[in-house]
Structure 1
Amino acid sequence: MSQVYLNGAFMAPQDAHISPLDRGFLFADGIYEVIPAYNGVLFRFEEHLVRLERSLAETAIANPHSRDQWRQLCEQLIQRNGGGNLSIYLQVTRGATEKRDHAFPNPPVPPTVFMMTGNIAVPAADSPDTATGSKAITLDDIRWARCDIKSVSLLPNSLLRQQAVAAGASEAILLRDGFVTEGSASNVFIVAESTVITPPKSHAILGGITRDLVVELCHRHHIPVEEREITESQLRQADEIWVTSSTREIVPIIQLNNSAVGIGTPGPVWKTVARHYVSFKRRLCGLQDQE
């Protein structure tokens, strides 16, 4: 049976309960992380913890655990759920108060900590020669101005993703003032004239752990890469489009708004980067000896 973690204890999901006065429930006053584990090994754990700490600091929520404590909790949760390839969802809210009030509780109350696992589907990058790619549409970015915080306030993202699903696509690529920001639940890359391009970090996008690793791998393997603005026109004319996230890794987009991207199949640069990514993952998680 699967187990979750809530405020100091592991338990069955049906036994986990929070107060209806929890500020995460009332105000979406909380942050979260999603950390993948392969072969039971946490992937890029330190990078995820740095982002977690940043989100907590930006929202003035007290960090309830040290990095070592977070690691121990994550590893215990993986073991209790059978190991293998899992994602860990980790959420911290400002906690439960005696009354509903927009202002932060004074004195502060203990944060609410919830963790659970989910299965990770086999990513497209694991089989670059047989990957079929995905479809995306473009939509106006209707989200708030602090998308760099990994907030649980995801209603705009959900509405945007649902519009994509209703249109037969798997992702919505978002545009703000004529420029690409990110996907509804992903970062965006394009390839133009053999150069990999992704929007620079700002308050308009979440600094993705997979995004950063892709940039790192491009530098390491001498693949031209730039972090700069992408216009809507450049997106539409791109030779390749990818979206990245911690659980889906690097997904090739082969159709944008019902028009083929490039020749309508996963491109050669994506295949090269996908192979480097999978090799790095396997080495880090003990699935092979060498990159």
Structure 2
Amino acid sequence: MAEIVYLNGNFVLKNEAFVSPEDRGFNFADGIYEVIKYYGGKPFRYADHMDRLRRSLREISIDFDNLDQFEVVFQTLLEQNGLANQEAGVYLQITRGSHTRIHQFPESIKPTVYATAFPFSSKWDQLKNGVKVITTEDIRWLRCDIKSISLLPNVLAAEKAYEQNAVEAIFIRNGMVTEGSHSSFMAVKNGVVYTHPDSNLILPGITKIVIREICKTNNIPLVEEPIPASELMAMEEMMIIGSGSEVTPIVRLDESLVGDGKPGQVTLLIQEKFFELTKR
């Protein structure tokens, strides 16, 4: 089946979708994106993703407010690509648009809007058995709260993890754990879940919102404060969370086992409650 994508108001074959070489997303990474997971053909936390998208657009001053169209656009993409009623994802990217290359914001410019659908199955082996992650220095800019398409530091960190047979790189900034290259990070000690508070240093994760709710409903203490890197190995459990990671236990950090080297009980409880929500 030929892949269908959405570009600037039209559904077209992917191999016929073209963006100008003058697009500011191409020249400056001047744009933002979102990824939404669909379970059984239904989007998970769609409104939260749209709220974050709206905030990212506002933070970099892209004038685009026609977000109501996307629910239908995404559903159409899923249907036209044979992905309805299964686990799938939709990627949406909005750049400032095309213009002769200048650094300041051009006047009278129309955003470039691109969306595509793709298979997005849960990685059950990792979810069941846990994964290895590494730590690395957080060299990103100071507005990580914007879901920017400028992801080169994340790519470099992810490649470093891959080279060490790990699935994720956990960032350390000024001695404190921030987040992963493509996920949020949580750790557990004495039954208490710890995670970095929302700030300019991390992306406000949608799955993190869900886990806040799970912890509150199930009386699991949750503390949002930076975790010192020096205290990481004192943690009994760790997990990476996100639309792709869902709730994945970490069983090895760098070359050390986390806890007893098996997914922890608090992590597994949160994971169980998470998938109860996705099944709804």
Q: TM-score, normalised by structure 1?
A: 0.93
Q: Deviations over 1:5-35 (max 9, x none)?
A: 0001111110110000000000000000000
* Aligned position for 2:44: 43
Q: Which SS does the other structure have where 2:89 is aligned? A: strand
1:183-213 CA-partner distances (Å, limit 9, x unpaired): 0111000001111111100000000000111
Structure 1 residue runs of 4 or more that deviate by more than 6 Å after TM superposition: none
SS, match of residue 175 in structure 1: strand
Instruction: Say how many residue pairs are matched.
Output: 277
1:27 is aligned to 2:23: no
Whether contact under 8 Å (2:186, 2:193) holds in the other structure is yes
Distance in 2 between residues matched to 1:10 and 1:105, nearest whole Å: 27
The match for 1:168 is 165
Structure 1 position 218 matched with structure 2 position 202: no
Q: CA deviation at 1:104?
A: 0.5
Partner of 1:250: 247
SS at match of 1:36: strand
- Partner of residue 241, structure 1: 238
Q: Distance in 1 between matches of 2:150 and 2:138?
A: 15
Give, as a single letter, the amino acid of the residue that structure 1 aligns with 2:88.
L
* Alignment map for 1:67-86 (pairs within 5 Å): 68-82=68-82, 83=84, 84-86=86-88
Secondary structure in structure 1 of the residue aligned to 2:69: helix
Q: Please say if 1:197 is aligned against 2:199.
A: no
CA apart distance, 1:132: 1.1
Q: After TM superposition, give the deviation of residue 219 of structure 1 in Å.
A: 0.5
Which position in structure 2 is the counterpart of 1:289?
none
- The separation in 2 between residues aligned to 1:49 and 1:190, in whole angstroms, is 28
Does 1:89 pair with 2:86? Answer: no
In angstroms, what is the RMSD of aligned CA positions? 1.3
**Residues 74 and 117, structure 2, Cα contact 8 Å, conserved in 1:** no
How far has the Cα of 1:222 moved from its partner? 1.1
Kindly provide the CA deviation profile for residues 147-172 of structure 1, in whole angstroms up to 9, marking residues without a partner as x. 00000000010001100111111111
CA contact (8 A) 2:136 2:170 kept: yes
Q: How far apart, in 1, do the equivalents of 2:91 and 2:122 lie?
A: 18
Q: How many angstroms apart in 1 are the aligned matches of 2:106 and 2:143?
A: 22
**Secondary structure of the residue that 2:129 maps to in structure 1?**
coil
Structure 1 stretches of 5 or more lacking a match?
Answer: 284-291
Residues 28-37 or 232-241, more deviating = 232-241
- Aligned residue runs from structure 1 range 1-291, under 5 A: 1=1, 2-66=3-67, 68-82=68-82, 83=84, 84-97=86-99, 99-106=100-107, 108-124=108-124, 131-283=128-280
User: Quick one: which amino acid aligns to residue 120 of structure 2?
Assistant: I
CA distance in 1, matches of 2:231, 2:193: 12
Aligned partners of 1:4 and 1:115 also within 8 Å:
yes
Amino acid across the alignment from 1:171: E
TM-score when scaled to structure 2?
Answer: 0.96
- Matched to 2:69, the amino acid is Q
- CA positional deviation for 1:64: 4.7
In structure 1, the residue corresponding to 2:227 is in which secondary structure? coil
- Change in Cα spacing, 1:64 to 1:20, as seen in structure 2 (3 Å) is farther
Q: Tell me if structure 2 keeps the 8 A contact 1:30–1:152.
A: yes
